[in-house]
Chain A
Amino acid sequence: MATHILDEDFQPYQWLSEFSQQMPAGRDGAAASFIGTMRDYNDDATVRTMTLEHYPAMTQRYLEQLEKQAKTDWPLNDCLIVHRVGEVFPGEAIVLIGCWSAHRRAALDACNWLIEELKYKAPFWKKEQNPSGERWVESNTDGL
């Protein structure tokens, strides 16, 4: 299991590749992943950049708790969470979640649960910078 909070751009597919290469060959029959990236629009407005604020100690602790809970609730062999903070530009990755298990259902369901829990409870906050100024994102979209 691993949890990383990064203050610079990262390449999610490279992270998945490198992380999975450390695993024993033949152990996992399934891998599920979610990658969230920054759009250049929100609510019909152009977004130039976004700043992600967090509560460092609580955020790290909360993400680690999520991983532990996922491994308790599903037969996962491994789990990876990576999340950006700081200034983010359109096209850059914001979050990566990876789950590995013997069979597909555990990996898929755990991955889905992790991103939903993270979005609604992990202490991160987005502030968008657009041509007319800046604004805090007040809530997440409802699982769309």
Chain B
Amino acid sequence: MSIQVKFFASLRESLGQSETTVEQASTVTEVWDLATQSATPPNNLLVAVNLDYANMQSQVKDGDEVAFFPPVTGG
């Protein structure tokens, strides 16, 4: 099993990594804990699974891409 994990913007800088891989996880929370060594997630953390918004309780499976990022500020 392999799940690709990405971090963006200020979260990428504060964690010091842009992407990693997690081998075993069934929820986004488990992905976060494994990818960040159980860092405390920011209150305003956003998450996407396979390019769609998700939440920390969302299920993940082999081959998924999970992205974590801060509030967006485009436009």
Contact = CB atoms under 8 A, between A and B. Distances in A.
Nearest to B53: A121
Interface in A118-135: 118-127
Contact of B73 (A57, A58, A115, A125): A125
Interface residues of A, number: 28
A127 B9 CA distance: 8
Given A123-B8, A125-B10, A136-B10, A58 B51 contact: yes
A116 B10 CA distance: 22
B39 interface: no
A125 B67 contact: no
Interface of A: 36, 52-55, 57-58, 61-62, 83, 94-95, 115, 118-127, 136-140
